[in-house]
Amino acid sequence: MADVEAAKRAAAKTAVANHYPKDARWVGIGSGTTIVYVVEAIKALGVDTSATRYVPTGYQSRQLIVTAGLTAVEFDAVPAGTVLDVAFDGADEVDDELNCIKGGGACLFQEKLVAMQAKEFICVADSRKLQSRLLSSWKYIPIEVAPIAAFRVLRKLKELGAIDPVVRQNMDAKEGPLKTDQGFFLVDAPFPPMLTKSDVQAGKVSGKDSVWEVNELSEKIKSIAGVLDVGIFSGLTGPQATAAGGVGGQRPVAAYFGMPDGSVSVRKASS
Ligand SMILES: O=C(CO)[C@H](O)[C@H](O)COP(=O)(O)O
């Protein structure tokens, strides 16, 4: 465990050193345990942060920002048209093309909003998260769902090939479904490992026999009525989205993994 924490810290330090702009104005801060080291690394830079505004992806993230003595501005208070300089976040799994699964820590919708508002979305994780295909080691896709539609969504997910999807429950003394920062439920939907775009280009068949290409499955799940968002971050990166006339993408431009030997492996999105 100590090694895993050291790996997360090393990845965060390198990611911040490479991507935190000297004159940062707007910075997205994600959720989870790894992001704690990103904030630690930002503080350790010793730069003047008085004019920098940090945009959280949920309650935990906001507390982290404030406790570090940084200024938090909620996503809906960011002035219209503002593009964040950079957004850092963790992931539950990252594939060869830098598609990610997120939401294991019960945040995903706000994480996606923040990532998609950033010029650069940077993922920080430890080596356990690095797999050639999504759903290799991590077994389910978190999906944020309107409570009233939960049973319908479960049924539709089974039709798509999900194996025993469930509504995530509170782990503390308060029994019942866990609620997200939006007051929604989370459905955890196990699927077999997904295909990447290059798998499909190489002739592997997608969408049949419950084996899905990442983007295709993401779209299918998002189109189910009652789904707020899906914990698959795929498609365009920020610069690609900007070039296409949009703001930012949901796929990171780079992912940093702390390795067991103390090194940091960097993966960059190619296409
Ligand atoms: O998506 C997330 C929260 O829902 C987290 O980024 C993801 O679960 C990774 O967390 P950790 O850094 O603790 O491994």
Interval 115-127: pLDDT, tens:
999 999 999 999 9
Is the pLDDT score of 178 beyond 90?
yes
Please tell me the predicted confidence (pLDDT) of residue 116. 96
- Distance in Å, CA 35 to ligand 1 centroid: 8
CATH number of 2-131+234-268: 3.40.50.1360
Is the pLDDT score of 2 beyond 70?
no
Domain boundaries, the chain: 2-131+234-268, 140-231
3-state secondary structure string, 40-99? HHHHHHCCCCCCCEEEECCHHHHHHHHHCCCEECCHHHCCCCCCECEEEECCCEECCCCC
Please tell me the predicted confidence (pLDDT) of residue 163. 94
Domain 140-231 CATH (choose: 1.10.630.10, 3.30.70.260, 1.10.3720.10, 3.50.50.60): 3.30.70.260
Is the pLDDT score of 271 beyond 80?
no
Sign of CA dihedral 159, 217, 106, 100: positive
Please tell me the predicted confidence (pLDDT) of residue 187. 98
Is the pLDDT score of 133 beyond 90?
yes
- Kind of pairing between the strands at 86-89 and 26-29: parallel
Least confident of 34-43, 97-106, 146-155, 168-177: 168-177
- Give mean pLDDT, residues 252-257: 98
Helix residue spans in the chain (DSSP H): 2-19, 35-45, 59-67, 109-116, 150-160, 197-201, 214-222, 238-243
Q: What single letter denotes the amino acid at residue 221?
A: I
Confidence (pTM): 0.96
Please tell me the predicted confidence (pLDDT) of residue 207. 83
Active site residue 144: no
Give the CA count within 13 Å in the CB-facing half-sphere of 5: 5
Give the percent of the chain with pLDDT over 70.
99
- Distance in Å, CA 264 to ligand 1 centroid: 18
Which residues form the pocket of ligand 1, taking CB atoms under 6 Å from any ligand atom?
A: 30-34, 89-92, 102-108, 111
Please tell me the predicted confidence (pLDDT) of residue 138. 98
Closest ligand 1 atom to residue 34 Cα is 12
What CA–CA distance (Å, rounded) separates 84 from 103?
Answer: 21
When the pLDDT of each residue in the chain is averaged and rounded to a whole number, the result is 95
- Give mean pLDDT, residues 154-166: 96
- Give mean pLDDT, residues 154-170: 96
